[in-house]
Amino acid sequence: MVDRFTEKAQHALGHGFHDARQHGCTTMEPIYLLLGLAQVNSELLSRIGFGEEEVQRFRAKLPPEDPVTMQLSSGGSASVFYSHGTETTNILRRAAQEADSAGQRPITSGHLLLGLYLGSTEIRSELEELGVTEQIIKKAVAEEPVEVMHSPEFASMVRRHMGRPGIGYDLHRLEAGRKLIIGGVHVPFAKGPVGHSDGDVLAHAICDALLGAAGMGDIGKHFPDTDPKWEGANSLIFLEHLRKHFENQGLQVIHIDAVVITERPKLGPHFPAMREALAKALGIETEQINLKAKTNEGVGAIGRGEAIAAHVVATVAG
Ligand code: MG
């Protein structure tokens, strides 16, 4: 149903949730939705006789603001998850029914107002005291200008908060006598990668996946292999650099899923140490990193043990 709300209706819900949280409530009760509506569509509310004076009167009934939850609710979209009470769920259903019976797919702020009146006995009796009837609301809603589903700015904001995936791939040739570093961990083996840095395929593919999700280009742009600074470098440094970039831009790593393809050695026993090292470099939890290993069934360069490769999908939000 969420995808049916117009931008204005979504803003009303957002303001309602935020307001409820600021007042120490873990669920959004109908009064917060009404005040959220008044914030985003004061014209509609004024037309039914619910003006600034009524808003202030309703505000005075709210519990005091809670400094702890106020801090939480200003801490960014991903830090707090909201829910609404049973009565508000009923209101949203009624709003959807009103849209349905008008033959409209979008659920507008007007439908929310009707939903509040028809779905909450408390709000209904408060509005009735002001002389507001269902007919008055329906007339005001009918006079409402058409509401847009999503402006480009709003769509972009939703996309950012929902998280974006990025893909990363890397391959290195393997040669005898070189140190095999994967995911920042030394894996004892007769061969190791040929590369400008330490040739850590997993760290490099993660780096590319994260840069892709963030829309920041690729690893070659940020850490060129022509730069002597990166010669023999521990590739976890690249991830630590990214961590700082992400922090500066308010981006968060949601999840990393990776597969490393090599014929030998067996990587499974080293995964816990790799997840630890990668999570530490990125400032995330080990649970946010999933590692898998595959052989190439003896096929091609990887199958002959001449190369090692990694594929990664990373999800980033913010
Ligand atoms: Mg590489």
CA of 202 to the centre of ligand 1 (A): 8
CA of 195 to the centre of ligand 1 (A): 7
Q: What is the DSSP letter of 230?
A: G
pLDDT surpassing 80 at residue 119: yes
Per-residue model confidence (pLDDT) at position 47 = 94
CA of 199 to the centre of ligand 1 (A): 5
CA of 183 to the centre of ligand 1 (A): 12
* 57, 84, 150, 201 from 25: Cα distances, Å: 19, 10, 29, 47
Cα dihedral sign for 172, 178, 184, 186? positive
* 76 — pLDDT class (breaks 50, 70, 90): very low
pTM: 0.66
CA of 317 to the centre of ligand 1 (A): 25
Residue the block writes with tokens 């200008």: 145
Scored b (16 or more CB within 10 A) or e, 303-315 reads: eebebbbbbbbbb
pLDDT tens per residue, range 169-187: 999 999 999 999 999 999 9
Residue the block writes with tokens 């070659």: 220
* 18, 20, 75, 154 from 68: Cα distances, Å: 13, 13, 11, 29
> What is d(CA 122, CA 126) in angstroms, rounded to the nearest whole number?
6
CA of 318 to the centre of ligand 1 (A): 27
CA of 248 to the centre of ligand 1 (A): 25
Cis bond upstream, residue 265 (ω within 30) = yes
CA of 265 to the centre of ligand 1 (A): 19
pLDDT tens per residue, range 33-51: 999 999 999 999 999 999 9
